[in-house]
């Protein structure tokens, strides 16, 4: 019922007279002009306290089938979710395996269409209604710059971004690497920039030993790096450390976590490097301590 007393006895109300309303600058690069829903969802991918992200990627099955370490997602992946800021997966895995009560961001693998047995990147996109139904925080689309399906994959990103802006769901451009492409900063700077210019709110790419800062600086939106093939744990933590310290806003890591000798320890060590500025040595020590 309406509280008339509150209106009448208004001498105790605090209108904050003399206190200016603070401007709210959003914490992510290139995201200040986005709508509230976009920013809220980005805050489920990137931790607002550090501005960084630990994304647990386990979407590999959509092109590779039962990848090593992902044979039983319920056993291998679900125990890792508490240590990530968000998960990256297909809608199949999400519905079949991920507990709906979990409170992490969801990066949905939003494009699909071919497997490693044929030619990759000949993809279509999912219906936006399904992304909305699953309450996803971002939609990831493969973009194959310089590849056979360049135009098609860029169109996939453009259409995804159109839908994303309509419904307040960010898009992530995932830079595919063709077999004949050089994995250097020049290539990834081009690919990342093309994704951002075409509407991606996040870009996922690979770390380059040389000139990675140029890839970062040439991209107007946050970049997260993929982990790539399994490395020794210490080397994987070094990769995270270098990427973050050269400007990446996070890691979207799969095989170096779930194929680790101790995935639960590894994701905690990765988290400490990303969010707590642990050095690779400190992270590896943490990994070893947690593995005892
Ligand atoms: C790439 O597009 C895949 O879908 C994975 O999500 C990505 O490569 C990250 O996984 P990994 O760290 O194993 O490379």
Testing ligand 1's pocket by substitution, the residue of 45, 55, 59 carrying the most ligand atoms inside 8 A of its CB is 59
pLDDT grade for 144, boundaries at 50, 70 and 90:
very high
pLDDT in tens, 31-60: 999 999 999 999 999 999 999 999 999 999
pLDDT band at 24 (very low <50, low <70, confident <90, very high): confident
Cross-strand bridge partners of residue 107? 88, 138
Whole-number Å distance, alpha carbon 271 to ligand 1 midpoint, is 17
| Residue where the block lists tokens 């709110």 | 201
Q: Which atom of ligand 1 is nearest to the CA of 255?
A: 13
Four-point Cα dihedral 80, 83, 86, 92, nearest 10 = 10
Q: What would the mean pLDDT of 62-83 be, rounded to a whole number?
A: 95
Cα(26) to centroid(ligand 1), Å: 28
Question: Tokens 């933590």 identify what position?
Answer: 237
Measured CA to CA, the distance from residue 207 to residue 184 in angstroms comes to 9
Is pLDDT at 8 greater than 60 in this prediction?
A: no
> Could you tell me where the DSSP H helices lie in the chain?
4-8, 36-45, 61-64, 73-76, 91-97, 128-133, 150-167, 185-197, 212-217, 233-245, 255-258, 263-275, 280-291
Please check the confidence at residue 10 and state whether its pLDDT lies above 70: no
228 CA → ligand 1 middle, Å: 6
pLDDT band at 267 (very low <50, low <70, confident <90, very high): very high
For residue 215, pLDDT over 80 is answered with yes
The predicted pLDDT at position 172 comes to: 98
Query: Which of 93, 141, 254, 256 to mutate to test ligand 1, by most ligand atoms within 8 A of the CB atom?
Result: 254
Give the Cα separation of 171 and 147 in Å (integer).
21
CATH architecture for segment(s) 33-229+248-258: Alpha-Beta Barrel (3.20)
Residue with tokens 């386990």: 58
**Cross-strand pairs, 125:** 111
Ligand 1 and 57: CB distance under 6 A: yes
Q: How many CB atoms lie within 10 A of CB 174?
A: 28
Q: How far apart are CA 34 and CA 198, in angstroms?
A: 15
Q: What is the pLDDT of residue 183?
A: 82
Tell me which residue has its CA closest to atom 8 in ligand 1: 226
Tell me which of 204, 214, 230, 292 is the catalytic residue: 204
Q: Is 152 tagged catalytic? A: no
Yes or no: say if 251 and 274 are a contact pair by the CB < 8 Å rule. yes
30, 222 Cβ separation under 8 angstroms: yes
Tell me: pLDDT of 185 over 90. Answer: yes
The arithmetic mean of pLDDT across residues 171-190, rounded, is 87
Distance of alpha carbon 26 from alpha carbon 44, whole angstroms? 13
What is the 23 CA–ligand 1 centroid distance (Å)? 37
The encoded tokens of residue 83 equal 């240590």
Q: What is the pLDDT of residue 11?
A: 72
Q: Where are the domains of the chain?
A: 33-229+248-258
């Amino acid at each position: 019922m309406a509280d008339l007393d509150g209106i009448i006895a208004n001498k105790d109300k605090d209108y904050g007279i003399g206190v200016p309303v603070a401007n709210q600058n959003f914490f992510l690069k290139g995201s200040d002009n986005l709508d509230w829903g976009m920013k809220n969802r980005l805050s489920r991918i990137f931790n607002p306290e550090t501005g960084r992200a630990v994304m647990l990627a386990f979407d590999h099955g959509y092109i590779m089938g039962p990848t090593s370490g992902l044979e039983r997602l319920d056993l291998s992946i679900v125990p890792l979710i508490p240590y990530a800021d968000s998960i990256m997966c297909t809608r199949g895995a999400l519905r079949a395996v991920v507990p709906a009560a979990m409170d992490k961001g969801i990066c949905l693998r939003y494009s699909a269409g071919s497997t490693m047995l044929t030619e990759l990147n000949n993809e279509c996109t999912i219906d936006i209604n399904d992304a909305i139904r699953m309450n996803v925080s971002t939609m990831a689309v493969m973009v194959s710059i310089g590849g056979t399906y360049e135009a098609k994959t860029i169109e996939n990103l453009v259409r995804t971004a159109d839908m994303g802006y309509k419904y307040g769901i960010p898009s992530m451009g995932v830079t595919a690497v063709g077999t004949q492409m050089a994995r250097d900063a020049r290539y990834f700077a081009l690919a990342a920039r093309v994704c951002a210019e075409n509407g991606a709110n996040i870009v996922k790419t690979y770390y380059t030993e040389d000139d990675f800062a140029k890839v970062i600086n040439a991209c107007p939106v946050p970049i997260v790096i993929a982990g790539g093939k399994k490395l020794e744990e210490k080397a994987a933590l070094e990769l995270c450390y270098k990427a973050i310290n050269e400007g990446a806003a996070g890691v979207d890591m799969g095989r170096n976590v779930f194929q680790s000798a101790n995935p639960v320890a590894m994701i905690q060590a990765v988290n400490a490097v990303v969010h707590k500025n642990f050095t690779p040595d400190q992270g590896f020590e943490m990994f070893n301590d947690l593995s005892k």
